[in-house]
Amino acid sequence: MSEEVKSHLFAIRTTGGQEKVVMRLLEAKANANKINVQSVLLVDNLKGYVVIEAINPNDAYMAVEGVRHIRGQLRGELEFKDIEGYLVKKSTVSQLEVDNVVEITGGPFKGMKATVTRIDSDKEEATVVLLDASYQLPVTVDANYLKLSTEA
């Protein structure tokens, strides 16, 4: 029977704005010193932190030790469920249906409302008709720039 290997996740506090630098430094140090670190994650909504994953907590401590811009770490470990929401990209396309009223959240039509006329799941795009336009103008938009409108 193979035993499941549990990896440990640690939130490492960094100087604000230096998360990418710290991530690269940790990766480089782990590779150069053959430290067994599974991954270093940059979590978008977690400013001032990177997450380091290691099977052996001592490897994580060794990787972090002496690296510039590291200001310490959160006490204890993170659970996978703590960061799971940041890792799994939920497809916006799967939530859309033809005739949905949506709001465009990015691009040149940002802030406008539109009706979905066609959905291309493979490309993650939707064709919409702008509601505020003086004539029906079909526009193809990246589905990640669409959110379901609360107004019906």
Q: Write down the pLDDT at residue 149.
A: 81
Name the DSSP letter for residue 78.
B
Q: What global pTM score does this model have?
A: 0.55
Write the CA distances from 136 to 6, 108, 112, 132, integer angstroms.
55, 17, 14, 9
C-alpha 128/C-alpha 148 separation (Å) is: 12
CATH class of the structural domain 8-87: alpha beta
Confidence of residue 4 (pLDDT cuts 50, 70, 90): low
pLDDT at 74 over 70: yes
What pLDDT sits at residue 75?
Answer: 83
* Tens of pLDDT, residues 8-43: 899 999 998 899 999 999 999 998 989 899 888 887
Closest C-alpha among 39, 48, 47 to residue 80? 39
- Residue 10 CA to residue 26 CA, distance in Å, equals 13
Q: Which fold has domain 93-148?
A: SH3 type barrels. (2.30.30)
Q: Which residue has the higher pLDDT, 149 or 54?
A: 54
Do 8-87 and 93-148 show the same overall fold?
no
Q: Give the three-state DSSP class for 149.
A: coil
Residue carrying structure tokens 């811009």: 69
Delimit the domains of the chain by residue range: 8-87, 93-148
Q: With the CA atoms of 43, 44, 47 and 52 taken in that order, what torsion angle do they form, in degrees rounded to the nearest 10? A: 10
pLDDT of residue 52: 92
Once rounded to an integer, what is the mean pLDDT over residues 75-94? 76
